[in-house]
Chains A and B, each alone.
Chain A
Amino acid sequence: GQNIDQPTEMTATEGAIVQINCTYQTSGFNGLFWYQQHAGEAPTFLSYNVLDGLEEKGRFSSFLSRSKGYSYLLLKELQMKDSASYLCAVMHSNYQLIWGAGTKLIIKP
């Protein structure tokens, strides 16, 4: 079967660092995406990984290990505006995306 798992909810403190994990089991792999979705809004693209390793983009970094079926999104210097849901999605062999249910991140002052 095809499955993507991510924690339902996480809480972190403003200014801190948080790591959101995503594990997946899919038939074929053509890359992994992270999207951010603020409440009541559309998802917006954050990152794409297709090779193993860390991709850094400002305060956000995304890591991929294809052999372990594992990715994480690392958010540094957390700001209140980072309160949102973070969606992990895997592109499988037919180029369609399979989405996780999302991780709701709550930032506290």
Chain B
Amino acid sequence: TAGITQAPTSQILAAGRSMTLRCTQDMRHNAMYWYRQDLGLGLRLIHYSNTAGTTGKGEVPDGYSVSRANTDDFPLTLASAVPSQTSVYFCASSEDSSGANVLTFGAGSRLTVL
């Protein structure tokens, strides 16, 4: 089934450790996004990529980094995790980055930082 695959599904991480959340799409979408979702708040954009080889900062980029070496993969790295990064992380993609770009979301990665 075409779509977005995220891994891991859930993870418990000690503060100060690094972690990479993986995201792969097979729809040949140009744009990809990382969001975090916290109770009582709307989805917040962490980083995005409009096309392979380019990335940009979203609303809450501090403490996170991304890369977009190819069209399909868009990993999110936490270099030194802190408890405030406990959240559900969603990767999403869209055909392009403008207009009526409908997002397709992955199933999410639940991260707990202790």
CB of A11 closer than 8 Å to a CB of B = no
Which stretch of A13-21, A60-68, A76-84, A92-100 is in the interface?
Answer: A92-100
Interface residue tally for chain B (C-beta within 8 Å)? 21
Number of A-B contacts (CB under 8 A): 49
Q: How far is the CA of A63 from the CA of B38 in the complex (A)?
A: 27
A98 contact set on B, CB distance < 8 A? 42
Nearest residue, chain B, Cβ from A46 = B102
Chain B facing A: main interface SS: loop
| Cβ contact within 8 Å between B103 and A45 | yes
B97 contact set on A, CB distance < 8 A? 95
| Cβ contact within 8 Å between A101 and B41 | yes
Distance between B44 CB and nearest chain A CB, rounded to angstroms:
7
Contact with A96, one of B58, B102, B106, B107 (Cβ below 8 angstroms): B58
CB of B100 closer than 8 Å to a CB of A = yes
Using a CB–CB distance below 8 Å, which chain B residues touch chain A?
40-45, 48, 58, 90, 97-108
Using a CB–CB distance below 8 Å, which chain A residues touch chain B?
4, 30-31, 33, 35, 41-45, 48, 50, 87, 89, 91, 95-102
